[in-house]
Every structure is written in C-alpha cells, then in structure tokens.
Structure 1
Amino acid sequence: MSNPIIDQAYRRRTVLKTMLASGALPLLSSGVFSSALAADNRFAGRTLNLLIIQPHVVTGKKIAEDFEKLTGAKVNVTAVPYDQVSVKATLDFQSGAGEFDVIDYFYTYKGQLAEDGVIEDVTDLIEKDKAEIQPDDFIQTIYDQYTLHDGRRYGLPYDGDSHLLFYNKELFDRYGLKPPSTWDEYNENAKVITAAESRNGIYGAAVLGAKIPVIILSTYANRLTGFGGNFLKADGTSALDSTEAVEALKSLLASAPHALPTPLETRFEEGLPAFLSGKAAQIDFWTDLGGYAQDPKGSKIVDKWGVTRIPVGGANKTPRLAFNAGFGFAITSGSKNKDVAWELIKLATSKDYHEQLLTLTGSGIDPDRHSGLNSEKFKAFQPLVQPLLADGALENSLAWPTAVYAPKLENALTDELALALAGTKNAEQAIADAHKAWTNIIEANG
C-alpha cells in the first residue's frame, strides 16, 4: 500500500536528481581542484565506478558530474542500502570482478575491509599529497576513527555522522512541553503527545529501531552515551557489563509504546518523512536533518522545529555525542584505475568541496573538517545545529568499535536489542547476553 509520507520523500529525491541532471545544483569551481587536471582533461576516456550508500545518492551524482567536468573521466554511480555496501564491495573483490574503483565505506568496517584486502592502504598517498589534502583540517578523532588501522590509513573521511535531538516546537508548545535535557523527560514528552495525538496519526517520537546495525545501534548509542556508558573499556574488553548499558536499553524500551508504530520497522526511510510531515514530535537523527527541516519543498515544519544535544540519564550530567554511522572513501584493491580513483577521493573529501556538501540540502553529509564546521556558510545554513557541534563536541564523541571483528560485535548487539524491542527479553537479559557474546568474540579474535 502506498504511504503518502514515504511517497513525499521519494518525490523530493526525484526533484533533487532532476536538479542535478539539469545543472541546477552548484558545481565545484575548477580552481578548487587540481588546475592541471582541469586544464589538460587528461582522464578523458577513462571510467570509474563508485559504490555509494543510498542516503548519499545526491552527493554521488554531484561528484560524478563535477569530476567529469573537471577531468573528463566518466563516473558511474551505484547506490545500495547502507547495510549492504561492505558486503557488495567484499564480494566484488573476492570474485575477482573488480567492478568498483571507489567505495563509500562505513567506518566501523574499515578494519575488516583492510584485513580482507578489499581496500588500499593510502598512507603514502596522503603524505605525498598532504599540502592538497590538508589532513590537519580533519577533526582528529574522526580522521583517526574513520581511516586508521594498525598504524596505516585506508581512506579519507567523507561524512562525519553524529546525532542530535530534533523536536517539533508547535507540538511542544501545544502541550506546554520543554526540550528534554534527560531521557526521562524525552519519554514523558513522547507519552503526553502520543496520548493526545495518536488518534490523529501523530506520535511523541520516531524511534529508529529497525534490525540494522547502523539504525538500531545508533539509537542505542545515543542512550548509552547519554547515561555515561561506553562500548569498550580502556583495555579493549566489553563495557556492556555496566549499569549504564542496562539503563540505556531500559530507557529505549520505555519510549517504544509512545513512538511511531513500530520501532522495529522504523528506519531512516520512515523516521525522516514522519518528522518532516509533523507526524513525530521528537527524533534523534543525523545533524543534516536541520537542512531538510527548513526546506519547504519537502518539509511541513519550516520554522516549527528545534534541536538540542542528546539527553543525559542516570547520574551522568555531561551530554556527549556518538559517531553514529560515518563514512569514508577508499580505493578498492581490485580497481584498474587507482590513479583516477585517488583524484576523485581527493575531490570529494577536499576542504572546499566538503563545505559545498554541508550546505546542500539532501546531501546527507555532516561535518568532518574544522573548516567546514566553522565556516560562515555552514553557520548560515545550519544556525541551530552548528553551535551544538562546535566547542569540542565532535572531538569527544563516543566511537563504535573498529577492530577487524567489529562487524561481529555489531551484529551480536543488534540481535539482542531487537529481541528486547520485540518483548522477547528484558533489558537485563539482553545486555547480559550481548556482553557475553562480545566477550567471546573479543577473546576469540584478540
């Protein structure tokens, strides 16, 4: 059955694609990129294949068009669901097909991709092109978490993903509610609005709880960091054997009855249009939502929304963000066009281009460079969001595990969180079982 909210989101995506095709979106000035490439068009006749996640489809098309204008190289873009990009890249490499030249990789998978030989070590290339890349401009925590494995670097950051809490001011004002500073306040807000408005198809929150690591783990990570918890201890062992880990899940479970039905079926694709259409009063979501919310072509809540830091819980009084998702660009080991692939990566992750993507509605890109975060253009484009990411907020964010076995940890925790949301296990049992699974995985692979 057709869902009008989802249909609206897809229509908006179609509009953006049309704008790209027609040249309505801004292109990169040739002076920003290598003038030599722009002048001699030396990659004419060469073709690159870029594997990108679906939420980045707008930027993928823009990169393809810009890169061809500057270098003459044709870029074919393949977009896949965010939970399939690493698998597709690995199968492409293992089969020997070598279809893809550049991949848009999830940072927690970098260790596995590097060890499996799927992506190239670019440490020496970064050093060679340091003046052009300006690696010191990357937010250091993001730079290291996204690219560093065993002392070597395997890509460059492209999308510095983190979450903030967005809320509907109109609904809050209607019921005399305040932006939540604690997760208890968040749950109470959700309860009040759902009780009053669910008959109108409006709910107190959109809880992204789909059984996909990048979705449900992001939602849990916000609560884990809010309660002052961590994924791992300083020695690399599981930190899920903590009161904070259990309380974080209890808080998540408490929100489910007052959320957009149902959290286990709520992904990026359902949560975003629900909030933009005024059907969900709260959502913890990627920071580029501020751009979507102010765009009258796809939002019914222009000037009717607010944003705040991720709430705290328990004894913790210090808000802290989490690096939820987060992507880099890497050269595939099977690429037959590694020289061209590297030039594309330098373009897509460059200082000036990053600023363009940060200020493009629908790009799906969040800050990973100091220059972009603090630029006047970004401040003007995201006046409510930018201050919440500055002053060290990103540098001190909670990172997910990134060891070679990190995907196994993610899958184990995802399974337990989903069982808890389904009502099969309580919070204590689910976290205890997740901690046991993590301990076994770490010991077996450490």
Structure 2
Amino acid sequence: MSDSLKQADGISRRRFVHGMSAASVAAAAGLSGCVGGGGGGGGGGDASMSIPDDPDAVVDGASITLAIDEGHNTNPFKWFSDAIQEDTGVELGEINGFGFTNLFSKLMTEFTSNSGAFDLVSFYPQYLGTFAANGHLQPLDDMMGIDGWDPQFDDMLKPFRQMYTQWGGNTYALPIDGDVLMLVYRRDLFEQHDIEVPETWAEFNEVARYFTEETDDIEHGVATYGKRGFSYGWFLTRFGGLGGKYFDEEMNPQINTEAGRRALESWRETIQYAPDDTASYGYPELRDSFTGGNAAMVVQWTDVPKKAAASEATAGKWGGAPVPGWEDGRAASAMPVGRVLGVPSGSSDEQKLAAYRFAQTFTLPKFSTHMVSDPGCGEDPFRTSQLSNPEAFTQPNPLRDAPGESVAFNGMESAEQYTSAVEATLEQGYPVPYWPGSQDYINALDIEISRFVSGETGVEETLENVETEWESIVEDLGREQQQEYYSNVIDAWKNAGIWE
C-alpha cells in the first residue's frame, strides 16, 4: 500500500473517532475514570449478552470465522484447530488474512458495516482503545466467569495482562503474542573479535562501525527497520531510554525535544553501517539480513532468535540480549505490534460464545506454549509459564504435521539464554499508545520516521513534522477528551511497571 493511501486511512480513522455519536462519547466520558486493572478510559456503551445455563452445549457444533494479519502468524490456528474443536466442539472455518499494515482499515470497514463476516478478530493492541470505545468489541468478562472458561490471566505476563486486554474497566481481548524489541547478535563473531555485547547506544554504534569497516567476516555491522508500518518502534527504543514522553499533561507533543533529537542523531549514525537499502527493510528483510549472515546484529522482535536457530547461517552462532540504553538515561525496549483476540459486538450471542470459547482455549498453555516455542510462526511468549519453562523450546510441537521442524533450540543452554533475554527485555519495556485515536499519532510518526531512515528528511525536519501533525490530530480529536484518555493510559502503564 502506498503512503498516500495510508495517509488517507489515517484521515478516515480520525474523522471516525472524532465523529463518534454523542451517546458513545458520553458513555466513554462516564467510564473514563475506571482504569481498573489495566486500560484507560471509556467503553463503548451497553454490550450486554445473555449467558445460557449450559454454554458448552450451545457452542458444541458451532463454526466461526477469523480475521487476522496474513502470513506465518496464521499457522497456529491451522495447527490447533482440530484439537480445539475436539475439546470445545467449536470449528474454525474460514481464516481471512489481511496485509500487515492495512488490518486496521479492513477491520474498521467490517465493524462499521456490521456485516457479521468475522466472529473472531486478531489485531494489534494499539487498536484496542479505538475499537472498544466505539463499541465494536464485546466485553468478555461475563464469558470469562463461566465454569471452565477461565483464560488464566494470573499466568499472563503483567505488561500484556495490563495493557493488552482492558479498556474502561472491561476486558475486551485475550493476548496471543507478546511482542517487544530485543538485540540479536552474532555471538560467534563477538567472541572471535573479543567484542562485548553493547550496553549503550554509543557502544552499539561503535560495534556496528567495527564490523562494517575493520573486518571481512561479515558484510555489515548492523541492519535496521526502515519500511512504513512499524519503523517508529526502532525510534522509540532510543527515545524512551532518554525519558521521552509522547505528550505533556496538556496534550502538547513532546517529540520535538532533546530526547527526540538525540535519538535520531544516534540512529542516523547507526544507518551509516547498515545496507544501502535498509530503508526498504520491514520485518522479513530485517530478519533475513541477520539469519542470512549479512549483519552482525539487529534490533528485532523476540521471535527472531528462534528463526536464527533454524537457519544454516546462524544456527548455534546467535546471541540475544536486551537493547542498549544511555549512559545518562536507561534502556527502553519498544513494544510495537503484539496480537490479541477479540469478539466483535455485532455477532449473535451464540457466535460470541463460540468465538470466545475458541479464543480462550487457544490461549491456554496447553496450546499456546507450543505456539510461542515454534519457529514456524511469529508469536512470542506472553505467559509467565512460557518463560519459566525453557525446556519447552527444545521440544517438538506435536500438533504440527512435521513436528521435527518445530524445535526452536537444540539444547537447554540456548533455550535458557533466550527466555532470560526475553524476560530481561520485558523489564525495560516501553509502551505504544492505544487510546482512541492513538493510531493517528502512530501513523504520523511512522511516516516521518520512514522518511528519515531513507534520508529524505533530517533530524530537525522530522521532529518538526511529527510535532505539527500531532498538534493537528489533538485539535481534530478534541484536546480535553484526548487528555483524559492519555492520563488514564499513563496510569495503566504505571500499574504495569513500564512507565516512570
């Protein structure tokens, strides 16, 4: 999809949120103080449903449809569907896959048309506030209370339980993918050249320079994400570590600040040592630059070590660690993407029950541990039990047609390094906005960051452009309402231990 089309999507989203009905806004404002255990302000009005006396009998024989971003993340639904149907009686019928970056517009079109095409939707948590506040998702709390239908939230890692599931005091989603950015590096080359794993961004850039300019062992010291969609996450890893905030209490953008300038200046130095076409790198290109043996280190999502262990060029040669920080700041690992499952509010009560039952079962350790430990998909750990059991990452997924291809790591040493690195990375997590309208801020930031990586704009112009666009978005959506949403989300982030 072109940038112009994506900008058009952003405008339509903004108009949609700004154009919420008076009743929806009133309901949102009335609930906005109810942060509960997690998410921020207002829910989407009355979405009550009837719970039958025997819900298991009601869902037995039901068939549901799923909407999700296309690609390898659909694989677990295919692996587990038969076993889940055997356990619950719910059949997963059609899987509808959409592009990585146009999922929002596809789901919004479906929600507003209310055609009932999807019974279950997988989406990125940054959409949660918009979907919930506009009444597009069914609150799950009543279904979570059904005997035997507990999603075991006590086992969820706190950042994902707090941020990925709730809005306005209600639960709207179940996590299935715990994304956070980490450092992945060539351990063999680091040991060969007596290089320490970088702990600061200055050290990171020096290591990138060294492998690019002073050795012939690898082509590039580093590669970086530059493509539209999620490039903003690579900026946030630096910005957050310098104490960067999105807005002040009056909803004035805080992007064009010393934290923003230093983050971009540091990243600009990194780009010098990356491949010439790094501005075109999305997830697969950045992954392949490392697993193909072309880059000595990358900042990437936490599924990439599993891919590296399965690659001939990097098997037994990779290492993992939290992203670096700043000598006068801290380390911050941005948390872009992630995935959750939600139930559209427009479905019949019977279909809602069936969709929730499938989703709840899918997320249980019985299935999800096989998912997050399998290199054949991109979902990452989101449960405490998944990180406390590194042995699972050395075992095959018995629900695949080819279980032998599903083993992430050949030994406990690699598995323990991986789970320890992911756990340490989560401790320095930096959250992505998810209140109603926040996707517009993210979209504006992502456009300008991608232009920066390509060399089209410099540091000052990039920050000024983002600041101007964010100011416009605040005014368009309503400053007072955005202040309220932002304040409540900040409280949720603090409760999750990832905001200072």
Q: TM-score scaled by structure 2? A: 0.74
Query: 2:421 corresponds to which residue?
Result: 388
Shift of 1:248: 1.0
Query: 1:7 corresponds to which residue?
Result: none
**Whole-angstrom distance in 2 between the partners of 1:440 and 1:128:** 45
Does 1:312 pair with 2:333? no
Q: Secondary structure at the match of 2:238?
A: helix
Identity across the alignment (%)? 23
Shift of 1:344: 1.0
Q: Which residue, 92, 105, 108 being the options, matches 1:90?
A: 108
Q: Give the 5 Å matches for 1:392-431.
A: 394=426, 397-431=429-463
Unaligned runs of 5+ in 2: 1-53, 395-408, 410-414, 483-500
Does 1:100 pair with 2:118? yes
Quickly say closer, same or farther: Cα 1:407–1:55, change in 2 above 3 A: farther
Unaligned runs of 5+ in 1: 1-35
- Whether the 8 Å contact between 1:323 and 1:397 is mirrored in structure 2 is yes
- Whether the 8 Å contact between 1:164 and 1:321 is mirrored in structure 2 is yes
Query: 1:256 corresponds to which residue?
Result: 271
Does 1:344 pair with 2:358? yes
Does 1:321 pair with 2:333? yes
Quickly say closer, same or farther: Cα 1:175–1:413, change in 2 above 3 A: same
**Whole-angstrom distance in 1 between the partners of 2:152 and 2:159:** 15
1:372 partner amino acid: Q
Q: Which residue, 367, 375, 383 being the options, matches 1:353?
A: 367
Query: 1:123 corresponds to which residue?
Result: 141
- Whether the 8 Å contact between 1:211 and 1:264 is mirrored in structure 2 is no
Query: 2:486 corresponds to which residue?
Result: none
1:178 partner amino acid: E
Q: Secondary structure at the match of 2:68?
A: strand
1:321 partner amino acid: S
Q: Which residue, 237, 242, 246 being the options, matches 1:227?
A: 242
Shift of 1:443: 4.0
Quickly say closer, same or farther: Cα 1:228–1:99, change in 2 above 3 A: same
Query: 1:265 corresponds to which residue?
Result: 280
Shift of 1:329: 0.3
Shift of 1:108: 0.5
Shift of 1:207: 0.4
Q: Secondary structure at the match of 1:394?
A: helix
- Whether the 8 Å contact between 1:158 and 1:327 is mirrored in structure 2 is yes
Q: Which residue, 247, 268, 272 being the options, matches 2:262?
A: 247
Q: Secondary structure at the match of 1:211?
A: coil
Shift of 1:259: 0.9
Quickly say closer, same or farther: Cα 1:334–1:386, change in 2 above 3 A: same
Shift of 1:183: 1.4
Quickly say closer, same or farther: Cα 1:196–1:374, change in 2 above 3 A: same
- Whether the 8 Å contact between 2:63 and 2:90 is mirrored in structure 1 is no
**Whole-angstrom distance in 1 between the partners of 2:238 and 2:300:** 13
Shift of 1:123: 2.9
1:313 partner amino acid: W
- Whether the 8 Å contact between 1:159 and 1:366 is mirrored in structure 2 is yes
Q: Which residue, 105, 108, 132 being the options, matches 2:150?
A: 132
- Whether the 8 Å contact between 1:49 and 1:102 is mirrored in structure 2 is yes
C-alpha RMSD of the superposition: 2.7
Query: 1:441 corresponds to which residue?
Result: 473
Post-superposition CA distance 1:29-81 (Å, at most 9, x none): xxxxxxx999x89633x321111222412223223333234325243222222
Query: 1:334 corresponds to which residue?
Result: 346
Post-superposition CA distance 1:316-367 (Å, at most 9, x none): 1x33322221111001233342121011110122233222222222231222
Shift of 1:402: 1.0
Query: Would you say how many aligned residue pairs link Structure 1 and Structure 2?
Result: 402
Q: Give the 5 Å matches for 1:14-93.
A: 43-44=60-61, 46-53=62-69, 54-70=71-87, 71=89, 73-93=91-111
Query: 1:281 corresponds to which residue?
Result: 296
Shift of 1:444: 3.5
Q: Secondary structure at the match of 1:285?
A: strand
**Whole-angstrom distance in 2 between the partners of 1:201 and 1:118:** 49
Query: 2:165 corresponds to which residue?
Result: 147
**Whole-angstrom distance in 1 between the partners of 2:251 and 2:190:** 42
Query: 2:232 corresponds to which residue?
Result: 217
**Whole-angstrom distance in 1 between the partners of 2:141 and 2:325:** 38
Post-superposition CA distance 1:353-401 (Å, at most 9, x none): 222222222231222222222224357653212112336x535521111
**Whole-angstrom distance in 2 between the partners of 1:378 and 1:194:** 36
**Whole-angstrom distance in 1 between the partners of 2:176 and 2:438:** 20
Q: Secondary structure at the match of 1:385?
A: helix
**Whole-angstrom distance in 1 between the partners of 2:384 and 2:250:** 30
Quickly say closer, same or farther: Cα 1:72–1:409, change in 2 above 3 A: closer
- Whether the 8 Å contact between 1:55 and 1:82 is mirrored in structure 2 is no
Quickly say closer, same or farther: Cα 1:102–1:434, change in 2 above 3 A: same
Post-superposition CA distance 1:128-186 (Å, at most 9, x none): 46872222222232122112222222111111101110011233345443321111222
2:338 partner amino acid: G
- Whether the 8 Å contact between 2:373 and 2:393 is mirrored in structure 1 is no
Quickly say closer, same or farther: Cα 1:261–1:66, change in 2 above 3 A: farther
Post-superposition CA distance 1:248-280 (Å, at most 9, x none): 111122211211232220011111122111111
Q: TM-score scaled by structure 1? A: 0.82
Quickly say closer, same or farther: Cα 1:85–1:174, change in 2 above 3 A: same
Q: Secondary structure at the match of 2:231?
A: helix
